Homo-oligomer: A and B are copies of this chain.
């Protein structure tokens, strides 16, 4: 390798619909990025990763490190084991594929929210915080754990599946087979459900307008938008939603005692209309609240790039010194 080649650090985030590649500088800064649709066929996912890398590389450059985050459980051998959002990828030996294509590169593959958590810890909202949780609020809920300044992935690298914590065994059925998983309530799907219920009861005229007129078409993003405009009933639905969010956050704080919880994913675009009620409900719900002064719930700093950036940092070996 030439000196040039040593600096090509790539991070990739394969989402349910989009695949994002970033080229990172030595401080984790994004030097270049490319987004493409996630292909439908399993084999093509590896082709897309290759295409992202080649597009971000200069002439004759080969990656010194490449990290790939996926919305899945990825085991210690880098094989996708469980993925409700990308079931067609289950069984893919992602890490061996990466090693086959780029034998000289340092490789990381793993859960996208874990990667996002590491990025927020390394250079984002949880920078320098040794006890930190990442919670990504999208269609579902993902999670990442930083403890003692290092990413914690558990025995088989399956840790951080916060969305499937059961918070009501009599609650709605989850595709995972259980009832009342946290992500039935506190994800974009959960907000959409709360919104539709309020809309059917005639309580959300502005939200229904944004959804095109039919209460059944209300989705989380319509509630978020109306609440952002200050529409009082939408703000009220957002506060109910924030309570469910806070319930799970309080559980996680009770179990793991973090200093900072970073919230990521599309839902945090709602801003204070979500963060304010969530912080207040959290303070009411968490055990020994008065003794937890300093615990901060913060919006993610790296936005939709966090997963790709974190995967790139983890591949480059920046897992913390602890």
Contact = CB atoms under 8 A, between A and B. Distances in A.
A254 B161 contact: yes
B251 A165 contact: yes
Size class of the contact patch on chain A: 35 or more
B167 A167 contact: yes
A80 to B, nearest CB: 10
Contact of A285 (B145, B150, B153, B178): B178
A166 B167 contact: yes
A250 B166 contact: yes
Contact of A82 (B168, B291, B295): B291
Nearest to A129: B155
Contacts of A257: 153-161
A279 B313 CA distance: 38
Copies in the complex: 2
A292 B166 contact: no
B148 A81 contact: no
B254 A291 contact: no
Contacts of A166: 167, 247, 250-251, 285
A206 interface: no
Given A167-B169, A170-B168, A152 B158 contact: no
Contacts of A291: 73, 75, 81-82, 156, 158
Nearest to A260: B155
Interface string A112-152: 00000000000000000011000000000001010110101
Contact of A154 (B73, B169, B256): B256
A3 interface: no
Contact of A147 (B143, B147, B170): B147
Contact of A148 (B82, B152, B259): B152
Contacts of A288: 73, 81-82, 158
A162 B288 CA distance: 13
A1 interface: no
B147 A247 contact: no
A219 interface: no
Contacts of A159: 255-257
A252 interface: yes
Interface string A222-266: 000000000000000000000000010011101111110000000
Contacts of A148: 148, 150, 152
11 contacts: A81-B291, A156-B292, A158-B288, A160-B255, A161-B255, A161-B257, A166-B251, A168-B170, A169-B247, A178-B287, A255-B256
Given A158-B254, A167-B168, A170-B170, 6 more contacts: A75-B291, A81-B288, A143-B255, A147-B152, A166-B250, A176-B287
